[in-house]
Amino acid sequence: MNRKKNKLQKSNEELDEKIREIYYKSKRRYGAPKICKTLRKTDVKTSLKRVQRRMTVLGIKSVVVKKYKPVKVEKNIKKKENILNQDFTSTSINQKWSAYISGDVKRQDYLEKALEWVSKGNIDNYMSAQEAMEYGLIDKVVEKRS
């Protein structure tokens, strides 16, 4: 049966349209409190609870982005013992090199060996010139030699 819509149903439909309009104009950022304030500014008398109910019926929610709060670590970080006796001190620039390239294991091996050869100043014995150009290592060797 097709019944006529009563006053409440008509006012709910009108309110739903206005809520959707405000919600999408705000790029889905406004929640019920801001939508309610905006409606009151446009002379639509409604309560916060009603706007909340209508938003639930419409299935819309505001986008909530939590603010970043730095967490203070209360534990004292202990200095670890240097078991490997690694020496990280240097007296001049380009004295010590370190590299890690994620991805291809073969490429990682190439670069580790190449960096070792570059630091010694000789890359010709390790790989072909084409391979060295691919990894941009010839430029480093030229810079080292000059």
Per-residue pLDDT of the chain (146 residues; tens, 9 = 90+): 688 999 999 999 999 999 999 999 999 999 999 999 999 999 999 999 999 999 999 999 998 888 888 877 667 767 777 766 666 677 777 776 655 555 555 665 666 666 666 566 555 555 555 565 555 655 655 565 55
Contact 137, 123 (CB under 8 A): yes
Domain residues of the chain, as ranges?
A: 8-58, 105-145
Own/partner pairs, 88-97, CB within 8 angstroms, 24+ separation: 94/144
* Phi, psi of 104, deg, nearest 5: -65, 125
Question: pLDDT value at position 8?
Answer: 93
